A and B are shown apart, each in its own frame.
Chain A
Amino acid sequence: AQKITQTQPGMFVQEKEAVTLDCTYDTSDQSYGLFWYKQPSSGEMIFLIYQGSYDEQNATEGRYSLNFQKARKSANLVISASQLGDSAMYFCAMREGRRGYSTLTFGKGTMLLVSP
């Protein structure tokens, strides 16, 4: 079974609109961390936002927020007021406590295209 599932291969959004990128995860650990990374066409992985499994409030970082629903094991990324520069691949990732928090397990990603 996949540990991180991103069901949207591609998403389209118009500039200035909000968009939600889906992520569900699978773990039996009580302690884990969830991450979102952005990968532009240049290839570098850019950290966007983090949510800990014990965090009671949803994480926010500027235009990025994480809609964390622990019971449903989902950690969707919400990008508000999309910009042309947001066009990129977006990856959801998890670090599990059982592995000593040492590694990230990534989903297959969602390609976001922002149109003018």
Chain B
Amino acid sequence: GAGVSQTPSNKVTEKGKYVELRCDPISGHTALYWYRQSLGQGPEFLIYFQGTGAADDSGLPNDRFFAVRPEGSVSTLKIQRTERGDSAVYLCASSVSGRGTYNEQFFGPGTRLTVL
């Protein structure tokens, strides 16, 4: 079956521009997560949606970052006034539910964002 998909796979933008990154979770998964992976690091949590609402956005680094999931499926991560430090791979994951210690998260291939 279809896994988590993310578009675009690569995005190059200029400092100060606005970007949107899209995530299509596995059908039926109510929980959706965004992570950011900088070069040589493990993924870092950004935000978690349970259904349409952001249940935990404590990982968003500042108010330039915002994410939505209006219909409880597709999610968009929005970054305003991009900075060179935003360059990273942005990973999306989904799971059947957000609850329980064993709750396998299925990851997408990521979007590589480069800010020039």
Question: Bound complex: CA of A108 vs CA of B42, how far in Å?
Answer: 5
Number of B residues, CB within 8 Å of A: 30
Q: Are A50 and B89 in contact (CB under 8 A)?
A: no
From known contacts A93-B42, A108-B41, infer whether A47 and B104 are also in contact, taking CB-CB under 8 Å: yes
Binds A, one of B15-23, B43-51, B60-68, B72-80: B43-51
Q: Does B113 contact A (CB under 8 A)?
A: no
Map CB proximity to B onto A18-56 as digits: 1 under 8 Å, 0 otherwise: 000000000000011100010000111111001011000
Q: Are B48 and A103 in contact (CB under 8 A)?
A: yes
15 A-B pairs in the complex with CB atoms less than 8 angstroms apart: A4-B42, A42-B109, A44-B108, A47-B104, A95-B103, A100-B55, A100-B56, A100-B99, A101-B103, A102-B33, A103-B48, A104-B105, A106-B43, A108-B41, A109-B42
Cβ of B43: which chain A residues have Cβ within 8 Å of it? 45, 91, 104, 106
B59's contact among A32, A95, A103, by CB below 8 Å, is which? A103
Number of A residues, CB within 8 Å of B: 29
Q: Are A45 and B91 in contact (CB under 8 A)?
A: yes
Cβ of A44: which chain B residues have Cβ within 8 Å of it? 107-110
Question: Bound complex: CA of A46 vs CA of B102, how far in Å?
Answer: 15
Q: Which of B64-116 contact A (CB under 8 A)?
A: 89, 91, 93, 98-110
Q: Does A60 contact B (CB under 8 A)?
A: no
Q: Are B56 and A102 in contact (CB under 8 A)?
A: yes
Q: Are B42 and A53 in contact (CB under 8 A)?
A: no
New A-B pairs, 11, CB < 8 Å, besides A43-B110, A100-B98, A101-B98? A31-B101, A37-B107, A47-B105, A50-B104, A52-B102, A93-B42, A97-B101, A101-B103, A102-B50, A104-B33, A106-B42
